[in-house]
Amino acid sequence: MIVHPELRRAARHARRPLLTATLLQGAVTLTHLAQAVLLAVALAALARGETDRLPPLLGAVLGVVLARAVLASWQRRTATRAGARVRVRLRDELVAHLGRLGAAHLTTARAGAVRTTLVDGVEGVDAYVSRYLPQLIVTLAVPPLLLAGLAVVEPAALLGLVPALLLALAGPRAWDRLLAERGKEHWDTYEGLGADYLEALQGMPALRAAGAVGRTRQRLEERSAALHRATVAKLRVSLVDTGITDLAIQGGTAAAALLACWSAVTGSTTATGTYLVLLLSSECFRPVRDLSREWHAGYLGVSAADGLAALRTAEPAVPDTGTVRARWPQPPEVRFEDVEFTYGDGADAAPAVHGVTFTAEAGRTTALVGPSGAGKSTLLALLLRHRAPRHGRITVAGRDVADYTLDSLRRGIAVVSQETYLFHASISDNLRLARPDATDDELVRAARTAGIHDEIDALPDGYATVLGERGATLSGGQRQRLALARALLADAPVLVLDEATSAVDERREADIVRELLNAAGGRTVLVVAHRLAAVRHADRIVVLDGGRVDAVGTHDDLVRAGGVYTELVTAGRTHEGELAA
């Protein structure tokens, strides 16, 4: 019964509507009590043969029933509104926090598990906060009042009711710990299964190619069976819980009825008193029964509370402590100064990059090349502050990137990476993501530069074509060029192309890069590419090897100097030769 701090916190998002919903829930319960009292009086009148008193009493019962219908629907509406507010605020808060956590978080947390917490977990919290909590308060408040009332009419009735109520409320608490454990197991399995399904669906082409679909299906079946077992285990405990409550409710009601009969037989109370004891003692348990029902609705919220708290309080890899807004009227210079970074806690791991110093001149194109694992992506992650260097610093426009607010820094640097993300929306909506107010002409200009305009134009619906999930209607190359157009439209002073043209064929790649560099129109561009065709026209090429800068120069300088760059050129040719053969 102790409310999880995370759920209490969630409830604060809708304090007033929740208070109203609780008061209304109390009012609904009062109508049940009023009805019980009126019926007791009516039955007593009937027993005494005073039939003329019946019509007004039954009329009053009808009035109470109608009032309850109105109050109950008002209560539901208020509770639903409160729940919706909690849901929206909680999701907003979590999504904003995920944004602050940045890409680095999603490489360690599984996207599917985060999705489950964000969608199902928050739904569970809604049910808990908007349905269970108001009922909990009513259940704690009403039966004691009722008992006090009954004590006046027939004190002996309390002998059966008090122990039964205590058992109904406190008995299940003995199982709380076990229930919490089972709930956590269930939630973890549920989250894991969600993540597995998402990965299997997203990775279907890879699974097919590797002939692993059958094995994956088997693994998913095993996971589903595990979820089934976890559900049954949880249900078993939960049913014991419900069983105790039911036993107490029925035992208590039966005991009260026996006491009422006894008092009627011995004549220690009036007929009205007997009927009151009979009907009101049953009413004592109504809130407990209702609470038990709402518990099942809100149970998922309790299981998800830990996951929600973990997500909400996860620390970003890099804190957002900068205070300067990144606003660069001119394309800025980007400088890496003696930068060192190690993944993990770095105690025994080798640094991924160290002693890296180079300048990407303002308004020029600088290429980063090097064999796989050389540290190219790490440097980009450091520039965008998804990670912070352990030593040295990175400056943009002469200022340490740590001084800028994360949001403005990332807005100022448009990135096109190998993994393009397109949404299930129209092409123009996908393009306008970074600049909602862009005109149609601007869309076309960006698309032309990225070499995708003609293909969009050839589609039956042109720019209004709605893309499938993750842009499935387009080929890999088309998706990349669309992402490129989107980045150009973002109009950020710094443009980063991270293997951005890798899904495009080589001739086209050279054309696009040339076009792009023209269109970049004086932006500071950083190009990371494994194919040298994409970088040979760069103003400056930085060759990385094993986390260090091996050489810096133009294509011709580097070819002349030999070293890693020449090896890359030769390897590239051999590779092309293999492809051609």
User: Which residues of this chain interact with ligand ADP, rule CB under 6 A?
Assistant: 107, 343, 352, 370, 372-378
User: Judging by DSSP bridges, how do beta strands 524-528 and 494-498 pair with one another?
Assistant: parallel
Determine whether 91 is exposed, middle or buried from the number of CB atoms within 10 Å of its CB (0-12, 13-18, 19+): middle
Tokens of 376: 């190219």
| Least spacing, CB of residue 105 vs ligand ADP, in Å | 12
Q: Which residues does residue 400 pair with via DSSP β-bridges, in sequence order?
A: 395
User: Judging by DSSP bridges, how do beta strands 413-416 and 494-498 pair with one another?
Assistant: parallel
Which residues have a Cβ under 8 Å from the Cβ of 454 and sit 6 or more positions away? none
Q: Which is nearer to ligand ADP, 321 or 372 (CB)?
A: 372
| Least spacing, CB of residue 109 vs ligand ADP, in Å | 13
Q: Which is nearer to ligand ADP, 107 or 330 (CB)?
A: 107
Half-sphere exposure of 56 (CA within 13 A, CB side): 5
Q: Which of 488, 480, 546, 544 is nearest to 509 (CA)?
A: 480
Specify whether the CB–CB gap between 351 and 547 falls below 8 A.
yes
Specify whether the CB–CB gap between 463 and 474 falls below 8 A.
no
Put the strands of the sheet holding 391-396 in their side by side order.
353-360, 334-341, 391-396, 399-400
CA 539 to chain centroid? 43
Q: Which is nearer to ligand ADP, 380 or 467 (CB)?
A: 380
Q: Which of 86, 36, 531, 475 is nearest to 298 (CA)?
A: 86
Q: Which is nearer to ligand ADP, 283 or 545 (CB)?
A: 545
The C-alpha atoms of residue 81 and residue 87 are separated, in whole angstroms, by 10
Determine whether 492 is exposed, middle or buried from the number of CB atoms within 10 Å of its CB (0-12, 13-18, 19+): buried
Q: Which is nearer to ligand ADP, 106 or 232 (CB)?
A: 106
Residue 395: phi and psi, rounded to 5, are: -120, 145
Tokens of 301: 């919220």
Q: Which is nearer to ligand ADP, 41 or 369 (CB)?
A: 369
Share of the chain residues as helix, strand and coil, in percent rounded to the nearest 5? 70, 10, 20
| Least spacing, CB of residue 474 vs ligand ADP, in Å | 25
| Least spacing, CB of residue 198 vs ligand ADP, in Å | 20
Specify whether the CB–CB gap between 542 and 554 falls below 8 A.
no
The C-alpha atoms of residue 442 and residue 488 are separated, in whole angstroms, by 10
Q: Which is nearer to ligand ADP, 135 or 480 (CB)?
A: 480
Q: Which is nearer to ligand ADP, 380 or 482 (CB)?
A: 380
Q: Which is nearer to ligand ADP, 184 or 387 (CB)?
A: 387
Q: Which is nearer to ligand ADP, 108 or 313 (CB)?
A: 108
The C-alpha atoms of residue 127 and residue 298 are separated, in whole angstroms, by 5
Length of the chain: 581
| Least spacing, CB of residue 10 vs ligand ADP, in Å | 32
Q: Which is nearer to ligand ADP, 307 or 370 (CB)?
A: 370
Query: Helix (H, G, I), strand (E, B), or coil: what is residue 32?
Result: helix
| Least spacing, CB of residue 376 vs ligand ADP, in Å | 4
| Least spacing, CB of residue 413 vs ligand ADP, in Å | 17
Q: Which is nearer to ligand ADP, 183 or 370 (CB)?
A: 370
Which residues have a Cβ under 8 Å from the Cβ of 22 and sit 6 or more positions away? 133, 134, 137, 138
Residue with tokens 């760059």: 565
Q: What angle do CA 110, 116, 119 make, to 5 degrees?
A: 135
